[in-house]
Structure 1
Amino acid sequence: MGDVKTAEVVTNENCTVENEIGNKQIVNKEKLWTLNFFLLWQGQFVSAFGDVIYEIALGFWILEITGSKALMGTLMATSMIPRLIISPFAGVVVDRVDRKKLMVLMDLIRGIVVVFVGIAAIFHFVQIWMVFVAGIILGICGAFFNPSIMSALPDIVPKSKIIKANSALNMVYTGTNMAANPVGGILYSVLGAPLMFLFNGISYLFSSFTEVFIKVPKIKRDLKEVHFWDDLKQGFEFVWKFKSLRYFIFIGAILNFFANMAIVLFLPFFQETAGLGSVKYGFAMAVMSGGMFLGMILTSIVDIPYGKRALVFIVDLVAFCVLFSIVLFLNYYGMLAILAIGGFLNAIVNVFFGSTVQLTVPQEMRGKVSALMSTVLMGLAPLGIAFGGIIAEFISIKMIVLVSFAISTIVSVILGFNKDFKAFINFNPDKQVLEDIM
């Protein structure tokens, strides 16, 4: 790894970037909001909106049909398991093929599958197993799609705009959650799950269509020189040698396990608690997303000095865990306040980490590293989701949430004392090279 300096575009004999639009540079050194970035942004907006609608409909539909929190948790974990298994291999593929075509294909497949589920539900021949299969396919497609986005983003926006670009994309997810959650809760009570399934399928198809017009620079590699398994091995070796990144991935996997185990139970808690229900659940999730949206706005307009980012990161992470440990013990309006503040803090944590990874990982490694990170970070999440649903059959949901986030608080404090991790988050690409923090 001695020749790796920063995450700038690499150009050499085995890895060059082809400019798809001739002499005109794709990366605009002055602007973030180019046509390229806008097409990526609005496509994500449409499909993310549909995802929220689908998840709300799916969760309440399973509970309504089966009454089983364990089955609900298992189903929600289903789409994550195949994604985790194939993500390391998908990351290698992303670094070896046309990333734009891969994005288009994955959204097209997801659209067709979910439209089928919607039609099957409308005409009353949908079965639980069909939804499980659809979840598996969605997970596989996500394994290829997400690293494609993470890998392509630094190539279509200037390096100096990476944090703002990540904030803008994350605003898509948080903004759609803010808008779609209350809409989803209302739509479920008015229209029911089948039409909501269909809406999500159509949103994927629309996203696929708009992605056709995005111009993503190609990575031209001599694949005869770099075999698939060697490529995969290089990804593992890079992450293993990157000590601070490796440490965070391990800690992050633990945090994700407990967070997912707790948060998946918010939905059945609202369904079972008198005076709450699907509509109030939708508004509660919208409020949390609103807090995240404000956090994205802050990180998109305020430049926090590199040397202060680790401190902000840890304080925000610990505060988030403490607040969420008590959220279900409050009245509805108290919950809304905690969810808003927690969402705000979580947004800052996510933007700082994602942006640092994009600034430090070389271009020809981004797909592999992004996929490996996703695999390990989320590796325990399906177990957490399924386990949370199972133990909720026997233990109070409030107690599960309290203990989960109490443990997460302790783990977050431990992370804050790690010098390597603090050096990683504080990385300054204008003054440092990658070897300084590896």
Structure 2
Amino acid sequence: MDGLALNHQGQVSLFRNKNFMLLFYGKFVSQLGDVIYNIAVGWYILSITASAIETAVFMALGAVVYLLAAPYGGVMADKVSRKWLMVMTDLIRGGVMGIACLIMFIGIESIWIFYVLAIILSVCGALFVPASNALIPLLVKEEQLTKANSMSASIQSVTNIFGLIAGGVLYTMLGVVGVLMLNGLSYTLSGISEMFIEDVQSSNNEKPQRSSVFRDFGESMIYLKQKEGFYSLILVFGLINLLITPVFAVYTPYIFNQILKTDPLQYSFVGVAAAVGFLIGAGVLSALKTSGVIHRKIKMGLLLLSMIFVFILGLMIFYSSGFIESSSVVTFFIVAAVIVGFSEAFIFIPVNVAVQKLPNHLLGRISSLIQTLVMISVPIGLVAGGVVTDLFDMTTVLLVTTGLFILLTVSLFKVKSISSI
């Protein structure tokens, strides 16, 4: 009973934290628009091109631009007001969405509009993410970090539940132009919400010295190498990202669009299921103690993902052999997605908590550096996934992917330095 009382008090204090809740509401609104936008644009491009490579190249473009801009975003998050950096990037994104909506509304339709949007959104995202992540430890107490990160991470799950279904429906009803307008509005509302956050800064009294972005990034790399557990984790995560990214960004939509021939609404249910699973995982993590067991939770999440990879592989083998129908495949995919979401909560939330316990005056650039190193593999995975999808049978692709993922998971279990996290 005492534990429940303490948990209840912790949750109440967070909900009464005006600054944290303004950040929470702002991120919720903008991410809801993002989910609707991503499913609509992804389905739009895949439908008009019928090519996994075209879709993967579009996604990879955003990832590459993000990687190039991330070093600047991390350094800026430590040198300027994190609040106003977030406000500025949200309002810029809202503005360019509105311009794109107007261009397409007057009849100028081109896939290049989405390429330009991908570049601008990625640059703004590279500035926004480290600023928002580094702001959380300044708004809540250290003992509330796990709960705060669980709530913050749960935003994506909640918005997925509503946004993925709404994305399929709104894309069918309003088309891609209407979705652009809604996403622009969501960014604008998010920026307005963030304006009312008190401009809290790090308690570190040292004034930031003038230096180059690359010098600051290099110093962060040196610091990170001294944290042997983090460095090993990043290297393994980069390789795992190489395999996970195409599975959920290329293979799954291709299976639903080109193999199962479903509509976007059915595909959106998979994302909703993953969001529900993530919420469950975040709730479980919020109720557990985190001290000294972060690495165990990460390993548990990866082990569950390995099992789901095997399950999905078996599912496609049975379907290609004619033992089950497409409707059954959709149902089993939804079940698998719940476990995928649960697993991801046990991987990403503990990592965020561990990172946010690093020195706050370095947190923006270190957070950005970690994200950059892990995401280097994303564009490679997207393009490679698009190529192999168009060249090989999906069952073969999943077989190789599953084997490699299990191999990497086993290798992570053998890295002793990760136990220090």
Q: Under a length normalisation based on structure 1, what TM-score does the superposition of the two structures give?
A: 0.86
Q: Quick one: which of 245, 252, 256 aligns to 1:270?
A: 256
Q: Quick one: which of 276, 281, 304 aligns to 2:289?
A: 304
Query: Offset at 1:89?
Result: 2.6
Amino acid at match of 1:174: S
Report what 1:116 is aligned to. Answer: 99
Q: Distance in 1 between matches of 2:419 and 2:91?
A: 40
Amino acid at match of 1:247: S
- Tell whether 2:330 aligns with 1:332: yes
Matching of residues 184-263 of structure 1 within 5 Å:
184-219=167-202, 221-224=206-209, 229-263=214-248
Q: Distance in 2 between matches of 1:261 and 1:221?
A: 43
Contact 1:322–1:406, Cα closer than 8 Å, also in 2: no
Query: Offset at 1:314?
Result: 0.7
Q: Distance in 2 between matches of 1:111 and 1:160?
A: 35
Report what 1:287 is aligned to. Answer: 273
Matching of residues 9-158 of structure 1 within 5 Å:
31-33=13-15, 34-158=17-141
Q: Quick one: which of 393, 396, 411 aligns to 1:414?
A: 411
Gap regions ≥5 residues in structure 1: 1-27, 425-438
Q: Judging changes above 3 Å, is the alpha-carbon distance between structure 1 residues 228 and 333 closer, same or farther for their aligned structure 2 residues?
A: closer
Q: Judging changes above 3 Å, is the alpha-carbon distance between structure 1 residues 328 and 415 closer, same or farther for their aligned structure 2 residues?
A: closer
Amino acid at match of 1:260: T
Report what 1:431 is aligned to. Answer: none
Q: Distance in 1 between matches of 2:376 and 2:219?
A: 20
Gap regions ≥5 residues in structure 2: 1-9, 316-328
- Tell whether 2:129 aligns with 1:172: no
Report what 2:7 is aligned to. Answer: none
Q: Distance in 1 between matches of 2:296 and 2:208?
A: 42
Report what 1:376 is aligned to. Answer: 373
Q: Judging changes above 3 Å, is the alpha-carbon distance between structure 1 residues 30 and 68 closer, same or farther for their aligned structure 2 residues?
A: closer
Q: Under a length normalisation based on structure 2, what TM-score does the superposition of the two structures give?
A: 0.89
Deviates more, 1:29-38 or 1:257-266: 29-38
Amino acid at match of 1:414: S
Contact 1:178–1:286, Cα closer than 8 Å, also in 2: yes
Report what 2:3 is aligned to. Answer: none
Q: Distance in 2 between matches of 1:117 and 1:225?
A: 37
Q: Distance in 2 between matches of 1:146 and 1:67?
A: 32
Query: Offset at 1:415?
Result: 0.9
Q: Judging changes above 3 Å, is the alpha-carbon distance between structure 1 residues 289 and 29 closer, same or farther for their aligned structure 2 residues?
A: closer
Deviates more, 1:241-250 or 1:392-401: 392-401
Give the structure with the higher percent helix. 2
Q: Distance in 2 between matches of 1:29 and 1:217?
A: 21
Q: Distance in 2 between matches of 1:108 and 1:405?
A: 41
- After superposition, the CA RMSD in angstroms is 2.0
Q: Judging changes above 3 Å, is the alpha-carbon distance between structure 1 residues 258 and 61 closer, same or farther for their aligned structure 2 residues?
A: same
Amino acid at match of 1:69: A
Query: Offset at 1:230?
Result: 4.0
Amino acid at match of 2:330: Y
Q: Percent identity?
A: 28
Give per-residue Cα distances to partners, 1:97-155, cap 9 Å, x unaligned. Answer: 11111000111111111222222233320322221111011111111110001111101
Q: Judging changes above 3 Å, is the alpha-carbon distance between structure 1 residues 216 and 162 closer, same or farther for their aligned structure 2 residues?
A: farther
Amino acid at match of 2:270: A
Q: Quick one: which of 391, 394, 418 aligns to 1:394?
A: 391
Q: Distance in 2 between matches of 1:92 and 1:248?
A: 22
Amino acid at match of 1:202: L
Give per-residue Cα distances to partners, 1:220-261, cap 9 Å, x unaligned. Answer: 643457665543332121112211111111111101111012
Report what 1:7 is aligned to. Answer: none
Contact 1:57–1:188, Cα closer than 8 Å, also in 2: yes
Contact 1:53–1:200, Cα closer than 8 Å, also in 2: yes
Query: Offset at 1:402?
Result: 3.5
Give per-residue Cα distances to partners, 1:144-186, cap 9 Å, x unaligned. Answer: 1100011111010000000000000111011111221122122
- Tell whether 2:145 aligns with 1:162: yes
